[in-house]
Amino acid sequence: MAEVALRNVVKRFDNVEVVRSINLDIPDNEFVVLVGPSGCGKSTTLRMIAGLEEVTSGDISIGGEVVNDRPPKDRDIAMVFQNYALYPHMSVFENMSFGLKLRKFPKEEIRKRVDHAARILDITELLDRKPKALSGGQRQRVAMGRAIVRNPKVFLFDEPLSNLDAKLRVQMRTEIKRVHQLVKTTTVYVTHDQVEAMTLADRVVVMNNGRIEQIATPQELYHHPKTLFVAGFMGSPAMNFMRCRLEQNGVGLRVRLSDAVSLPVPASQSARYQPLTGKELVFGLRPEHITEPRRNDRDLQCEFAATLDVVEPMGMETMVYFTVDGQEVCGRVDPGSAAGPGEQMRLYADMDRMHLIDPQSGAVL
Amino acid sequence: MSTAAVAARAPRERLGVRASLSRNRRWALITSYVFLVIFAIFFLTPPFYMVVTALKSDAEVAHMATNPWIIADGVTLDQFRILFTQTDFLIFFKNTIIVTVSTVAITMVVSVLAAFSLGRMKFWGSSILATGIFLTYLVPDTLLFIPLFQIVKAVGLLNSYWGMILVYPTLTVPFCTWIMIGYFQSIPKELDEAALIDGAGHMQMLTKIFIPVALPGIIAAMIFAFTVSWAAFVYPMAFLYSADQQVLTVGTVTSLIRGDVYKWGMLMAGALVAAAPPLVIYAFLMDYYIAGLTSGATKG
Amino acid sequence: MADTVQTWSPGIRSPGLQGVRLQPSASGNLRLFMRRRSTIAFLMCLPLIVIITSLVLYPALYSIYLSMLNKSQTRFIGLGNFSFLLSRDVFWMVMEQTAIFALSAVFFKALIGLITAHLINNLPVKGQRKWRGMLLVPWVIPLALSSLGWWWLFDPTHSAFNYILSSLGFEEIPWLSSPYWARFSVILVNVWYGAPFFLIMYLAALKSVPEQLYEAASIDGASAWQKFIHITLPMMRNIIAITVLFSLIVTFANFDIVQIMTAGGPRNMTHVFATYSFMLGIRSGDLPLGAATSLFMFPILGIAAIFILRGVRKRGREIG
């Protein structure tokens, strides 16, 4: 069994705590993505699992055994690096078989494994070439092949797609997903790109400043973020955050965004937010939930008018930017209904998707 | 929903159980230091002993029963005093300075011009010339000193330190040019083009833009030229006879012998003072010194 | 960027601005020539070309001519000097000594350089500079002066090394008076002097190997020794070849150490080409014979030079 477990893992460099006591359980065969901004500690965590960094305190176990004291080669892991780290003087075949050769595998077994991996990754014609004769995408595949032939308990990926151009990145993302379905192995994948996290992961671990903000499936993370950071990090363009006050207006609660704009809280949420009436909070709503009025059965109270500052036609939809109470807000409207910059437009907010966040704690309420 | 499962069991006790990873690393470090100290002793013993000897009195130097590695009879600067007042040492020093400074000046002018041209301005035969320069560097002085003897004699510069200034550049120019070609080549092409648009001629480009930007390389080349000129031994040994023209390296080794007696205290004092300028430059400009050495071989 | 400057000389009316060069005068032609980029480039190289041609190329060729004259330089004797040298046992001994001297010294220099480079590279980065600074000292001191120092260390009566040996109960060693010990001493000093150069070169080369390759190898299961064999050495192959060949040339032609410590003795058993040629050519005044001696170095140096050139070109392609 190849579960990975982290218990109270801390990493300190000199006197700076880079990873602050994280706890994580990864069941067998799960594809977990560690995502977060630069410097959040995700790469360090990955390297601690690999054994390339020492654990300051806490335990890391693979397959049920604590591996803190084991060197990388005894942990039965394989890693794909951001810069591929292919041995430049060896051919692709030699690169892929190096680990097996060191472990004294018989020649036929090595041949079999390399051929198998090469077929999965579609690099069979490249086996005799040297790394410098390969393109970036091909090198990445070879790096993955090197990991696959080892049949490890855990695959570790350290931002493997960051060095590829946008189009190639999309292609390779699909490749990785396909390979994961073929070669069922526990995978820990580090990236700063939340799109990669959303598309690849079974579960996502969002990290910030050395701590875990939230662990959840991509959908859960997207629709039910638990903190301000997670809400703002996942999704592109990012969720709109606006200062607001929760008001009681006759029968219902309203969210007052500015002197001109106040939106109703849906009945389903009223009970939850009732205790917070009168407070200054942060109102969160994703751009795709601010649209032009489109449904006939909509709640007219959710409509408001705004003067557009910037209009960005994206083809399938048009992004509109406007200001509410001095804060910039983004909405996504049908290209045909978009007004021009400087013009006024009626917009509709899908309040069923609203979030309220406590500005002090950052917690989503 | 799914948050991290908090461990129910206590973290493993670590008291007394050091991570074997860091233990290995510590042993490797200690072994490294031990061997490095051994090598340091090997490399630094001769200079150390030279210093010790130079600070001893003649009597103690000659006395064989005492430990030669320490100064038992008290530190004395007598050797230096005698060296400066009763020998031709200071004449050697003066000559060496004249020769070295002149050589460095000539070398830098010739090398910078040639390197700039070969490094940035492509013309017919430039790559052949560059290769030729490198090959020249490989021709040793011990191959050339015999024919050069005739040539220097014919020019009337035998037994004159001006003859040294004539031939020393052969030791320095090839490598200095080679170093600086590398530095000049590493300056991006856009700088040329921006300068041309601004209206600079080639000479102006060289003096106002490239020389300042390539300054580290120039300093490294100057240090190399200085060190090589200062330490040159074959040519002065072959071409200089009289003490008033002699340079430090040959002078210290051959002319400081009084009669048949080797006054080692004074000899070591002389060797130290003669070795001092390169050592001082090295101490202050070590990075440039090393950059000069490594760039020659690693910059293609 | 126009390579040439188009102009027409003053006083001639041109039919229009078509950039056609009309009847340029002689001085205009010269000015044109002077302004050409390639001319300027060539002129900038001229001092260097002059120096190299007159003080390296010409002497090298002259030396061939010189070697074929008789001692008083009045008669042309063809290969007489060469056959004379080849008939002398001493000369064969000198050839053999120079070769052994160069090969063993370079081997040990490279070995020590490689070992010390690894040792220093293992240290935390902050301390590396200090150690590097200390270990490079032999290279910085002018060789003639440190040879003098070593001579004093080997002095027959006062040798400080012998003092240590005898106080530990061992016999004193005739460092410079016994032929075999003399050869050892000469090689020792050469290794002492030259190893730091290899240290610097190899340290720089070690640092140019990307750290991630070692990490990948760790994960693949390589021990420290395996990492050295499979990653470090192959990546350093080119720089090792260049430094070894380069040092072979320099060591082969070395003069200072032997001249100062033994002057070729005892009994000519430490002579190398450089010192033997000096003795014959300058000391005994037979310049042609000296030239002939030093020319024997040429073929070996030539071969080594060709290999170095290939290595440097390859490295240039690897990097650039």
**Of C212, C213, C221, which is closest to A99 when you measure between CB atoms?**
C221
Residue C30 touches partner B, C-beta closer than 8 Å = no
Reduced to 3 DSSP states, what percent helix, strand and coil does chain B have, rounded to the nearest 5? 75, 0, 25
Tokens representing residue C100 in the block? 């052994």
Residue A163 touches partner C, C-beta closer than 8 Å = no
Contact A59 B12 (CB under 8 A): yes
**Of A58, A66, A215, which is closest to B3 when you measure between CB atoms?**
A215
**Of B2, B11, B20, which is closest to A8 when you measure between CB atoms?**
B11
Note whether A348 and A334 are within 8 A (CB). Answer: no
Handedness of CA A225, A230, A235, A239 (dihedral sign): positive
Where is average pLDDT lowest: A108-112, B88-92, B294-298, C86-90?
B294-298
Tell me the mean pLDDT in the region C67-74: 83
DSSP string, C226-265: HHIIIIIHHHHHHHHHHHHHHHHHHHHT--HHHHHHTTT-
Residue A293 touches partner B, C-beta closer than 8 Å = no
Residue C233 touches partner A, C-beta closer than 8 Å = no
Tell me the mean pLDDT in the region A240-251: 85
Which residues, at least 6 apart from C3, have a Cβ–Cβ distance to it below 8 Å?
Answer: C36, C37, C38
Note whether C246 and C310 are within 8 A (CB). Answer: no
Contact B4 A25 (CB under 8 A): yes
Instruction: Give percent above pLDDT 90 in chain B.
Output: 31
Residue C275 confidence (pLDDT) above 80:
yes
- Give the mean pLDDT of chain C: 83
| Chain C residues touching B121 at Cβ < 8 A | 37-38, 40-41, 44
Neighbours of B53 (CB within 10 A): 27
The beta strands (E) that lie in chain C are given as none
Residue C85 touches partner B, C-beta closer than 8 Å = no
At B172 the three-state DSSP class reads helix
Which residue of chain A comes nearest to C234, CA vs CA? A89
Where is average pLDDT lowest: A10-14, B226-230, C264-268?
C264-268
**Of A23, A54, A216, which is closest to B2 when you measure between CB atoms?**
A216
pLDDT at C25: 53
The larger pLDDT score, comparing residue A219 to residue A257, is at: A219
Tell me the mean pLDDT in the region A24-45: 93
pLDDT tens for residues C185-200?
Answer: 999 999 999 999 999 9
| Band of residue B298 on the pLDDT scale cut at 50, 70, 90 | low
Distance CA A188, CA A185 (A): 10
| Chain C residues touching B114 at Cβ < 8 A | 44-45, 47-48
Label residue B274 exposed, middle or buried (CB < 10 Å: 0-12, 13-18, 19+).
buried
SS3 letters across chain A: CCCEEEEEEEEEECCEEEEEEEEEEECCCCEEEEECCCCCCHHHHHHHHHCCCCCCEEEEEECCEECCCCCHHHCCEEEECCCCCCCCCCCHHHHHHHHHHHCCCCHHHHHHHHHHHHHHHCCHHHCCCCHHHCCHHHHHHHHHHHHHCCCCCEEEEECCCCCCCHHHHHHHHHHHHHHHHHCCCEEEEEECCHHHHHHHCCEEEEEECCEEEEEECHHHHHHCCCEHHHHHHCCCCCCEEEEEEEEEECCEEEEECCCCCEEECCHHHHHHHHHHCCCEEEEEECHHHEECCCCCCCCHHHEEEEEEEEEEECCCCEEEEEEECCEEEEEEECHHHCCCCCCEEEEEECHHHCEEECCCCCEEC
Tell me the mean pLDDT in the region C204-218: 90
pLDDT at C34: 58
pLDDT at C6: 41
| Band of residue C26 on the pLDDT scale cut at 50, 70, 90 | low
**Of A78, A85, A98, which is closest to C215 when you measure between CB atoms?**
A85
pLDDT at B260: 65
The larger pLDDT score, comparing residue A239 to residue B134, is at: A239
| Chain A residues touching C219 at Cβ < 8 A | 50-52, 72-73, 77-79, 99
Contact B5 A23 (CB under 8 A): yes
Residue B122 confidence (pLDDT) above 80:
no
Tokens representing residue C108 in the block? 């040990």
The larger pLDDT score, comparing residue C312 to residue B28, is at: B28
Bridge-based pairing of strands A154-158 and A252-256 is unpaired
pLDDT at B7: 37
* Residue with the two structure tokens 């600079």: B200
The larger pLDDT score, comparing residue C40 to residue B258, is at: C40
Note whether A136 and A104 are within 8 A (CB). Answer: no
Distance CA A43, CA A49 (A): 10
Tell me the mean pLDDT in the region A205-225: 93
* Residue with the two structure tokens 């994206």: A314
| Chain B residues touching C163 at Cβ < 8 A | 67-69
Distance from CA of B56 to the nearest CA of C (A): 14
For C:234-293, CB contacts with A below 8 A are 234-235
Distance CA C52, CA B134 (A): 11
Which residues, at least 6 apart from B200, have a Cβ–Cβ distance to it below 8 Å?
Answer: B208, B209
Where is average pLDDT lowest: B38-42, B210-214, C11-15?
C11-15
**Of C44, C138, C320, which is closest to B43 when you measure between CB atoms?**
C138
Tell me the mean pLDDT in the region A301-307: 86
Distance from CA of B181 to the nearest CA of A (A): 27
Contact C212 A72 (CB under 8 A): no
Distance CA A277, CA A247 (A): 6
Contact B234 C157 (CB under 8 A): no
Q: How far is CA C282 from CA A169, B146, C105, C290, in A?
A: 73, 8, 27, 8
Specify which residues C69 forms β-bridges with: C76
pLDDT tens for residues B153-177?
Answer: 999 888 998 999 999 999 999 999 9
pLDDT at C145: 93
C partners (3+ CB pairs within 8 A) are A, B
Distance from CA of A85 to the nearest CA of C (A): 5
| Chain C residues touching A73 at Cβ < 8 A | 218-222
* Residue with the two structure tokens 């130079």: B54
Contact B22 A54 (CB under 8 A): yes
Distance from CA of A58 to the nearest CA of B (A): 7
Residue A175 confidence (pLDDT) above 70:
yes
Neighbours of B35 (CB within 10 A): 15
A partners (3+ CB pairs within 8 A) are B, C
Which residue of chain C comes nearest to B186, CA vs CA? C320
Residue C54 is classified by DSSP as: I
Contact A23 B1 (CB under 8 A): no
Distance CA A100, CA A43 (A): 26
Note whether A143 and A175 are within 8 A (CB). Answer: no
Distance CA C246, CA C304 (A): 8
Residue B13 confidence (pLDDT) above 50:
no
Phi, psi of A358 (to 5 degrees): -75, 120
| Band of residue B88 on the pLDDT scale cut at 50, 70, 90 | confident
Distance CA C125, CA A116 (A): 43
Which residue of chain A comes nearest to C235, CA vs CA? A89
Tokens representing residue A84 in the block? 């591929």
| Band of residue B181 on the pLDDT scale cut at 50, 70, 90 | confident
**Of C218, C220, C222, which is closest to A52 when you measure between CB atoms?**
C218
Residue A45 confidence (pLDDT) above 90:
yes
| Chain A residues touching B11 at Cβ < 8 A | 7-8, 57-59
Distance from CA of B54 to the nearest CA of C (A): 11
Distance from CA of C132 to the nearest CA of B (A): 10
ipTM over the 0.90 cut-off: no
Distance from CA of A319 to the nearest CA of C (A): 42
Where is average pLDDT lowest: A92-96, A228-232, C98-102, C165-169?
C165-169
Give the best residue of B58, B70, B139 to mutate against chain C (max C CB count within 10 A).
B139
Distance CA A97, CA A95 (A): 6
Distance from CA of A1 to the nearest CA of B (A): 18
Residue B199 confidence (pLDDT) above 80:
no
At position C128, the amino acid (one-letter code) is Q
**Of C212, C219, C231, which is closest to A72 when you measure between CB atoms?**
C219
| Chain A residues touching C217 at Cβ < 8 A | 87, 98
pLDDT at C28: 59
Which residue of chain A comes nearest to C216, CA vs CA? A85
| Chain A residues touching B22 at Cβ < 8 A | 54
Distance CA A174, CA A192 (A): 17
pLDDT at B222: 93
pLDDT at B18: 38
**Of B121, B147, B253, which is closest to C291 when you measure between CB atoms?**
B147
Distance from CA of A57 to the nearest CA of B (A): 9
Residue C224 touches partner A, C-beta closer than 8 Å = no
User: How far does CA C20 lie from the centroid of its chain?
Assistant: 54
| Chain C residues touching B45 at Cβ < 8 A | 153
Phi, psi of A225 (to 5 degrees): -65, 150
Tell me the mean pLDDT in the region A108-120: 92
Distance CA C258, CA B193 (A): 54
Tokens representing residue C226 in the block? 């395996």
Residue C86 confidence (pLDDT) above 70:
yes
Residue A111 confidence (pLDDT) above 90:
yes
Give the best residue of C44, C111, C122 to mutate against chain B (max B CB count within 10 A).
C44
Contact B114 C48 (CB under 8 A): yes
Note whether C252 and C102 are within 8 A (CB). Answer: yes
| Band of residue B125 on the pLDDT scale cut at 50, 70, 90 | confident
Which residues, at least 6 apart from B270, have a Cβ–Cβ distance to it below 8 Å?
Answer: B83, B87, B89, B252, B256
| Band of residue A337 on the pLDDT scale cut at 50, 70, 90 | confident
Contact C41 B278 (CB under 8 A): no
- Give the mean pLDDT of chain A: 90
Contact A69 B4 (CB under 8 A): no
Q: How far is CA B68 from CA C74, C173, C181, in A?
A: 55, 16, 22
SS3 letters across C122-153: HCCHHHHHHHHHHHCHHHHCCHHHHHHHHHHH
pLDDT tens for residues C35-64?
Answer: 667 777 888 888 999 999 999 999 989 988
**Of C66, C140, C243, which is closest to B147 when you measure between CB atoms?**
C66
